[in-house]
Structure 1
Amino acid sequence: MKLTKEDLDKVRNIEGFPIGEDEDIIALSDPPYYTACPNPFIKDFIEKYGKPYDEETDDYHREPFAADVSEGKNDPIYNAHSYHTKVPHKAIMRYILHYTDPGDIVFDGFCGSGMTGVAAQMCGNPDADPEFKFKIEKEMPYVKWGVRRAILNDLSPAATFIAYNYNTPVDVAEFEKEAKRILDECEKELGWMYETNHVDENGKQVYDMTGPVKGKINYTVWSDVFICPHCGSEIVFWDAAVDEENKKVKDVFRCSNCGIELKKTDCERAMELIYDHGLNKTISMAKQVPVLINYSVGNKRYEKKPDKDDLDIIEKINNMKIPCWYPTDELPDGYNTEQPKRSHGITHVHHFYTKRNLFILSYLYNKCNTTTIRFMITACLVMGTKMSRYGSRTGNVSGTLYVPSLIKDLNMLEYIKRKLYGPKGIVKPLGKISSFKYDYALLQTSSLNDIQTIQNNSIDYIFTDPPFGYNLNYSELNFIWEAWLKVKTNNKPEAIINKVQNKGLVEYQELMTKCFEEYYRVLKPNRWITVEFHNSKNSVWNAIQESLLRAGFIIADVRTLDKKQGSFKQVTTTSAVKQDLVISAYKPKESFKKRFLEKAGTEDTVWEFVREHLEKLPVVVYKNGMIEKIQEREPYLLFDRMVAYHIMNGLSVPIDASDFYKGLDERFIKRDGMYFLHDQVNEYDNARIKADLEPIQFSMFVNDEKSAIAWLYHQLETPQTYSELQPKFMKEAKIARYEKMPELSELLEENFLQDEEGRWYIPDPSKTGDLIKLREKRLLKEFEEYLKGKGKLKKFRTEAIRVGFAKLWKEKDYESIVKIGNRLPENVIQEDDKLLMYYDIALSRME
């Protein structure tokens, strides 16, 4: 099948259509399985393999996947081709096996390197990893093995190109044969570029019976050159700052000419004029000089300083004109592109490479006659740049375009050979995916904001790892790959926080809401979405949750995913989160939505929601052999979910907290502080009898009044005196600086009762309502004081703001909500999901 210009015209107006010539988009594509643009063949794929949704005959039921997942990154498939973020496919397999049946269609709209597709297909080949199969069947005895089909989407052409190669079968023997042929040709023609004289310990040329002994360069170290601010002489950073004996780089070094102590930040870089054959003009770039050559003779490695012959070869290469095409695209303005531009004068893609490596990559890339060989080369494009750091095992600093002062300039021929056959090579994983079929996965390059190619209610399950705020600027980081591919990201709809793109948290949330609305549209009702989240900022976490809720999803569970090996930022930043969070949310049935909206304004909507939600929640969850308390079944969170669903649907909340808690006890069955439907409680009771264990006590953060009350509810399941509670409370409490936190004694008096022995306990339901109403009356009185004031609020009770917003919402006084919201510190609104919800919706009502 061919992709034609007529096909492109049909999808050209879809948001996210990439930047590139039609011929290049067509050349990169492999229709119908992969298009480097919106895929016009997806509709046919769904009609052929999908199962139409009919609520009357739909008997699907799953509880959320209520287990934490730990899965490492050392699988050969994971390591075949780098990408900025990846979830190990074996972790994703657990979710797919839980939520789907063989033949179901799985969708990932932020597919990245395509691990969701790999996971969906590997579900059909469990015998490829018997140890993993045994582990899964022990953890999840109910699983049904079998291929799930996948539809993968990403805004980035680089991402979809990588994902396509991960999800497409290949003849491994033919691939190896062709790759070897191309590499041998390149070695024969250009191998001399990596030759060096073998010298003895005195630096003298070594000879054997045939003449001078030549070594093969493994890598060359290049050093920045700085200008001494005191005497103006040049300082080769390697000579001044590197302690070769101890393999350390000094933070402070001396100028060899004047002896002054300096840091890099004290100096300017030396610049030099060079003729750029790619741009046909003279340019200025940071001066870098070769300082060390690591080379091999036979199986033994040696090191030497570059000699005259080495320098002559480098000079010869630099004066040569590369006969093959290579990208010369100018770097866009961006957060990540600023450093190489500012520090080294790298303004175009080809400046990231030494001339020698650019020669090799250009030769090999233009010899490629299969997508898989191009995939092998793109896997090496980043490590072949000046971003490769000397003295680092990880090569470049992931998630950046950082160019270091000491560059490890690799022998690209040898590196590509290692990438072919080494421990992290691609031959082994290609063998694993050779069992895949062409019609198991379809890929497209498009914005998730507007996926017109996918029909309503057609997807069985969604797993997604979206971009999280400012963590990574994908369009900038992918620019090198995409320059080689000749098709680039259209970053207008890119969901990101980026000052250069004029996108802050608000713009990010708006874009993410549109994306989740599309997810909601295409997912079948009564089905699940799993959102993997990585960010240490509460504001981004709340933005993601609100986007999910605005789209119509209902959150049912939050767990952790441990990928075991941290990214550079995770490992080096103390505030970075070390585990990812996983949100399980569902799309409610159409009949529920219909009943809910028909009964708007009545109390019936409250209990319709609670029944729907309880039905979706897990009944029994085990952790470390113990029954775990399910937070979603506790009254506070049930109330919060109910309120949020009403507000997100533009409805007033027809019941207050005290009546809600009374109603829970009247309509549902309570066990261990959790509520169950009548047909669920037997399962929980039986599990408790068999386990004969107490539920796990949650460890909770106490940072405001609401979390303090929740903590006290857990503590006072066993009545305790003030003196028993106080030291534990002080240990847990980490109060935000703006929070006007009541004393522990006041919290106890407002929310709990005291027995004759002075022990505080949780009141029975008949008395709880009176306490809540009394407490809310006090909070509203304090909120009224806030309403009368002017200027920024510096100290306040967040609970008073929450109660006040709820009252104003009921009265439809959106203006006052926004007025108070604007007086709060910005981070308070952004980092409190309840306040953010009221504020954002009220703001939209005023527009």
Structure 2
Amino acid sequence: MKLTKKDIDKVRHIEGFPIAKDEDIIALSNPPYYTACPNPFIEDFIKEHGKPYDEGTDDYHREPFAADVSEGKNDPIYNAHSYHTKVPHKAIMRYILHYTEPGDIVFDGFCGTGMTGVAAQMCGNPDPEFKAKIEKEMPYVKWGARKAILNDLSPAATFIAYNYNSPVDVVEFQREANCILEECEKELGWMYETRHVIEGKIQRDIYGNPVMGRINYTVWSDVFICPTCSNEIVFWDAAVDKENGKVNDKFYCPHCRSQLTKRSCTRAQETHFDTGLNQLVTMAKQVPVLINYSVGKKRFEKEPDEYDIELIEKINNMEIPYWYPTDRMCEGRESRRNDQNGITHVHQFYTRRNNAFMAILYSKISRSKNRLPLLFAFTASIQRATKTNRFRFGGTGNLSGTLYIPSLQYERSANALFVSKFNDIMNQKQMLIDKNCFVNTASLSNIINLQENSIDYIFTDPPFGSNLNYSELSFIWEAWLRVFTNQKPEAIINAVQGKGLLEYQSLMTQCFSECYRILKPGRWMTVEFHNSQNSVWNAIQESLMRGGFIIADVRTLDKKQGSFKQVTTTSAVKQDLVISAYKPKESFKREFISHAGSEETAWSFVRQHLENLPVVVVKNGKIELIAERQAFLLYDRMVAYHIMNGISVPLDAIDFYKGLDERFLKRDGMYFLAEQVNEYDTARIINDVQPVQFELYVTNEKTAISWLYQQLETPQTYAELQPKFMQEIKAWDKFEKRLELAVLLEENFLQDDKGRWYIPDITKTADVAKLREKNLLKEFEGYLSTKGKLKLFRTEAIRVGFAKLWADKNYKLIVETAERLPESVIQEDDKLLMYYDLSLGRV
């Protein structure tokens, strides 16, 4: 099958269509499985392999996957090709095995390297050790390959994803790669030769000819100008302590002995004629300082000698008769960070030597029958061939997530890099047995070539705010591929693109809305990402809810312990997060809307939400408390779902908590459906009766109250609580009015005749809650009577006040009050952000 211009014209209007010539898109594609543009053949794939959704006959049910997941990255598949972020495929396999059946269609809208596709396929061909491990942990799973549809905005990502998921004829693949390498070596192999020198003496063979070694890598050093004497300083000579294997921050000028740092010096520069640009360019000066080479199987090191300098000069002056990319780096803080040092175009990220070898290699690959898999090995090696790789004692590599060029560069020989990556890919290719994957290059914000209710499960690792500038980091890859990311719909926080938190949230809402549209009702989406800012975490959470999803479980990965902890506060700590969210069934939505305006919508929501939550989670022989089954989170989810669907909230917190106790069964502070409670009670008999407590971070009034609820499971006096409380509140939020323990106890708990504070029983909780809400509203009204920015306040009072204003439809006052608060408070509190965002649209 061929991709034609007529096919491309059918999908050219789809958002995220890449920036490229049609012929380059066609050359990079392998239809129907992969196109370097929106895939016009996906509809046929779904028709052939998908199972039409019918709620009347659908009996699918899963609880959110709530077990620990910890998989290492030292795997042939993981290591075959680098990328900016990547989730190990074995970790994803656990989720796919839990949520799907063999033959189901799995989707990843931010696919990156395509590990979700690999995971889906490897469910049909797991390695025996991993299979045995899973069957012990998850005896209910069904083995068998799943189908996968992978999508990404980045052509580099989808190209990598396709090749990761495509089997090849390994014998033919290896034969052709060897032939190409042999041809390249014959023409340019001399560039990586050096004379073998021991103790300053050139080693010769029996015929008197110099023994030639094969260069493994060359270390290049920046050259600085001393601010005191204006002489040049080779950084390697001045700052590197070879004996102790370290690079000193402070060093001395070898000419005047001034003590210096890199910051106190300026970079030496040199001008040369750039044949790629056909013009003179000025760049930061760098010189070779160390060569590591092999003679036979032995390795040696030497300082560059006259032969090496002449060789480099010869290479720098020679013409490169093959095409290589000379594109100007795209606009961006990361992509143009090296402009000040004269590295402004793609080819300037390589030494002339590596650039020449990559050019001939690319030329040979372009004419190959196995072009795409060989190009996969090529792209796997080109990042490591750039000047971004640092020399470090004990290890090398680039600074992850940046295009930073270090002062000590590690120029690894491009031919050796290709061989190394080719071998990694050979190991990976032998594990794939079939073509079960389709790849789409488009924006997830509008994937109109995927049908509604067609996907069985979604696993995705979305871009997280401003953590990584994906399109900028991929630009060098895409320059070689000749197909570039369309940045307009890129979901990112990026000042150069004019995208802040609000723009990012809007784009993520569009993306999650599309995920909701294509996912079958009653099915699940897992969202995994690294959390570094609470404001972005809240934006993600709101985007999910606006998209229509209901969050059922949030866990953070504790990297030190390799385990997950539930998130119990609105602001998550700075760790990896895993969110489990589901799409409610159509029958529930119809019932929910038909009862709008009555209390039944609240209880309808709670019933279906409890049905979708895990009943029992056992960890190390102890039952783990399930945060989502607690009253305060059930209330939060209920309120948010009503507001997001434009329906008035029918109950206040007081009546809601009272109704929970009347309608549902309670165990250990959690609520269950009647058909669920027997399973929980049985688990309590088998396992430790006392559930594992949440680890709470006491940073504000709400978390302080939650902490006190934990402590007061056993009644305690003020004197017993005070020392522990003072230890917990060291990191109180900056703008949050700090309350005394006595006030928190008076407003939320009751005291017995022995002076011990305890949790009110259900007959008295309503009275305590009413009094608390009355006090908070009074405090909120006090804020309204003042003018100017609010600098110290009770966030709980703001929450209660916003809820009251929302019920009164006073959206204008919500917006006005929100704008008096510090921006970070709104951004980092999911409830305040929800009221503010939705009110903005109604003012």
CA contact (8 A) 1:72 1:563 kept: no
Aligned to 2:383: 382
CA contact (8 A) 1:462 1:528 kept: yes
Distance in 2 between residues matched to 1:742 and 1:314, nearest whole Å: 70
Aligned to 1:814: 811
Distance in 2 between residues matched to 1:225 and 1:565, nearest whole Å: 44
Change (3 A) 1:260 1:206: same
Aligned to 1:572: none
1:325 aligns with 2:323: yes
1:404 aligns with 2:403: no
Distance in 1 between residues matched to 2:11 and 2:67, nearest whole Å: 41
* Structure 1 residues 536-587: Cα deviation after superposition (integer angstroms, max 9, x where no partner): 2111111100000011100000123467899xxxxxxxx9978411000000
Q: Look up the equivalent residue of 1:627 and give its one-letter code.
A: I
Aligned to 2:364: 367
Q: Which moved more, 1:345-354 or 1:755-764?
A: 755-764
Shift of 1:394: 4.1
Distance in 2 between residues matched to 1:356 and 1:826, nearest whole Å: 51
Aligned to 2:544: 548
Aligned to 1:702: 698
CA contact (8 A) 2:621 2:688 kept: no
Aligned to 1:288: 286
Aligned to 2:567: none
Aligned to 1:443: 439
Distance in 2 between residues matched to 1:712 and 1:702, nearest whole Å: 10
Matches within 5 A, 1:105-504: 105-126=105-126, 129-201=127-199, 203-210=200-207, 211-342=209-340, 344-368=341-365, 369=368, 370-391=371-392, 393-421=395-423, 425-433=424-432, 435=433, 437-438=434-435, 440-504=436-500
Aligned to 1:570: none
Q: Which moved more, 1:153-162 or 1:206-215?
A: 206-215
Shift of 1:258: 2.0
Matches within 5 A, 1:622-661: 622-661=618-657
Distance in 2 between residues matched to 1:27 and 1:54, nearest whole Å: 40
Aligned to 2:777: 780
Q: Look up the equivalent residue of 1:786 and give its one-letter code.
A: Y
1:70 aligns with 2:66: no
Distance in 1 between residues matched to 2:597 and 2:536, nearest whole Å: 32
Q: Look up the equivalent residue of 1:197 and give its one-letter code.
A: R
Report the TM-score, using the length of structure 1 for normalisation.
Answer: 0.96
CA contact (8 A) 1:516 1:548 kept: yes
Change (3 A) 1:149 1:235: same
CA contact (8 A) 1:388 1:396 kept: yes
Q: Which moved more, 1:794-803 or 1:746-755?
A: 746-755
Change (3 A) 1:58 1:604: same
What SS does the aligned partner of 2:281 have?
Answer: strand
What SS does the aligned partner of 2:292 have?
Answer: strand
Q: Look up the equivalent residue of 1:473 and give its one-letter code.
A: N
Shift of 1:304: 1.4
Aligned to 1:571: none
Shift of 1:388: 1.1
Distance in 1 between residues matched to 2:725 and 2:640, nearest whole Å: 29
Distance in 1 between residues matched to 2:363 and 2:561, nearest whole Å: 36
CA contact (8 A) 2:20 2:482 kept: yes
Distance in 2 between residues matched to 1:266 and 1:379, nearest whole Å: 37
Q: Look up the equivalent residue of 2:421 and give its one-letter code.
A: K
Aligned to 1:569: none
Q: Look up the equivalent residue of 1:383 and give its one-letter code.
A: R
Which of 789, 793, 797 is matched with 2:790 structurally? 793
Q: Look up the equivalent residue of 2:426 and give its one-letter code.
A: V
What SS does the aligned partner of 2:679 have?
Answer: helix
Distance in 2 between residues matched to 1:509 and 1:56, nearest whole Å: 35
CA contact (8 A) 1:224 1:286 kept: yes
1:831 aligns with 2:828: yes
Aligned to 1:685: 681
Distance in 2 between residues matched to 1:578 and 1:759, nearest whole Å: 36
Which of 735, 744, 750 is matched with 2:741 structurally? 744
What is the percent sequence identity of the aligned residues? 70
Change (3 A) 1:617 1:703: same
Shift of 1:268: 1.3
Distance in 2 between residues matched to 1:414 and 1:684, nearest whole Å: 58
Change (3 A) 1:727 1:611: same
Distance in 1 between residues matched to 2:771 and 2:557, nearest whole Å: 42
Aligned to 2:566: none
Q: Which moved more, 1:575-584 or 1:364-373?
A: 575-584
Distance in 1 between residues matched to 2:452 and 2:572, nearest whole Å: 38
CA contact (8 A) 1:67 1:559 kept: no
Change (3 A) 1:531 1:704: same
> What is the Cα-based RMSD across aligned positions, in Å?
1.5
* Structure 1 residues 643-699: Cα deviation after superposition (integer angstroms, max 9, x where no partner): 111111122211111110110011011111111011111111111112243111111
Distance in 2 between residues matched to 1:795 and 1:560, nearest whole Å: 30
Report the TM-score, using the length of structure 2 for normalisation.
Answer: 0.97
Aligned to 1:587: 583
Shift of 1:299: 1.8
Aligned to 1:763: 760
Corresponding residue pairs, total: 828
Shift of 1:338: 2.9
Shift of 1:601: 1.3
* Structure 1 residues 324-353: Cα deviation after superposition (integer angstroms, max 9, x where no partner): 1100000112121232112x2101000000
* Structure 1 residues 403-428: Cα deviation after superposition (integer angstroms, max 9, x where no partner): 0111111111122222233xxx2211
Q: Which moved more, 1:210-219 or 1:132-141?
A: 210-219
Q: Which moved more, 1:78-87 or 1:284-293?
A: 284-293
What residue ranges of structure 2 are gaps of 5+ in the alignment? 563-570
Q: Look up the equivalent residue of 1:389 and give its one-letter code.
A: R
Distance in 1 between residues matched to 2:202 and 2:572, nearest whole Å: 51
Distance in 2 between residues matched to 1:91 and 1:541, nearest whole Å: 22
Shift of 1:68: 2.2
Shift of 1:803: 0.3
Change (3 A) 1:187 1:239: same
CA contact (8 A) 1:72 1:565 kept: no
Aligned to 2:15: 15
Distance in 2 between residues matched to 1:775 and 1:241, nearest whole Å: 64
Q: Look up the equivalent residue of 2:727 and give its one-letter code.
A: K
Which of 723, 727, 730 is matched with 1:727 structurally? 723
Q: Which moved more, 1:489-498 or 1:258-267?
A: 258-267
CA contact (8 A) 2:215 2:293 kept: yes
Shift of 1:204: 2.1
Shift of 1:50: 0.6
What SS does the aligned partner of 1:284 have?
Answer: strand
What SS does the aligned partner of 1:338 have?
Answer: coil
What residue ranges of structure 1 are gaps of 5+ in the alignment? 567-574
CA contact (8 A) 1:88 1:563 kept: no
Distance in 2 between residues matched to 1:577 and 1:33, nearest whole Å: 40
What SS does the aligned partner of 2:287 have?
Answer: strand
